[in-house]
Amino acid sequence: MADAPARLVVDRDACAGHGMCYGIAPSLVEPDEQGDPVVLVDPISPAQSADAETAVSVCPERALSLVSASPPFDPEGSSR
């Protein structure tokens, strides 16, 4: 995901709680009280992208993904 801003997303339905993500990328993901992963950084920085990509690739359930960090919707429009 090159240098474009990205978000690390957890599919909670797919996650089985193996903990690989927070073992690999503790600065990006940590377990909550039940052991479910919580993403700590949004969006991730380009410097964190390698750790995020590794966490995504090692997840045995494919419950992690990197998606484009689109700017938030501005109902007023951006042309002022």
- Asked if 10 and 64 touch (Cβ cutoff 8 Å), the reply is yes
pLDDT score for 78: 54
79 within a domain of the structure (yes/no): no
Please check the confidence at residue 72 and state whether its pLDDT lies above 70: no
- Local confidence band at 80 (pLDDT 50, 70, 90 cut-offs): very low
- Name which of 60, 53, 51, 56 is nearest 18 in CA terms: 60
Query: Taking the alpha carbons of 58, 5, 14, 37 in that order, is the dihedral positive or negative?
Result: positive
Chain segment 23-45, per-residue pLDDT in tens: 999 999 999 999 899 999 999 99
24 within a domain of the structure (yes/no): yes
- Name which of 66, 60, 67, 65 is nearest 17 in CA terms: 60
Q: Which residue's structure tokens are 């797919």?
A: 14
Of 11-15, 39-43, 48-52, 71-75, which gets the smallest average pLDDT? 71-75
Please check the confidence at residue 55 and state whether its pLDDT lies above 70: yes
Print the domain residue range for 34: 6-68
1 within a domain of the structure (yes/no): no
Domain count, the chain: 1
35 within a domain of the structure (yes/no): yes
More confident residue, 72 or 2: 72
- Domain with residue 26: its CATH number is 3.30.70.20
78 within a domain of the structure (yes/no): no
